[in-house]
Structure 1
Amino acid sequence: MVFNDPVNLMSYVSYVFQSYFGYSAEKAHTLMLEVHEKGRSVVATGGREEMERDTQAMHEFGLWAACQPESGSD
């Protein structure tokens, strides 16, 4: 999960989602808007080790992120 922050430009957040996750420009933009408007967005799912690696990568890009287990309430 990536959280909104007062530091990073929206274009940079979209760039990170495209370059790290390989998302299309459209999907990266949609996720970035969700982060911006709702305060957070689930940008990837998977196993614990993979999510911890992705969270660390987001930190290295300077984004605020956390690895959280799925709630299962869907």
Structure 2
Amino acid sequence: MVALKLRLIGNSTGLTIPKETLAQFNLKEGDTLYLTPAPGGMRLTPYDPDFADQMEAARAIMKKRRNALRELAK
């Protein structure tokens, strides 16, 4: 577990993430993180949960309509 500290940055509040944690999760300045509600608290992730849902739906369609997509690719 890593403790993160909220800090005042101009008129906003920012989150300070230790350098070791950034390296561990392969994050760098400018990356986007998504804060989502989770059971018992919150989840901070570099993956867009909406995009993950869309990709899951796309994979299901591609599996179901494989032959049609193959024909369209010709």
Which bracket does the TM-score occupy, shorter chain normalised? Answer: under 0.3
CA radius of gyration, larger in: 2
Higher relative contact order (CA 8 A, sep 6+): 1
TM-score (norm 2): 0.22
If each structure's helix is expressed as a fraction of its own residues, which one has the higher value?
A: 1
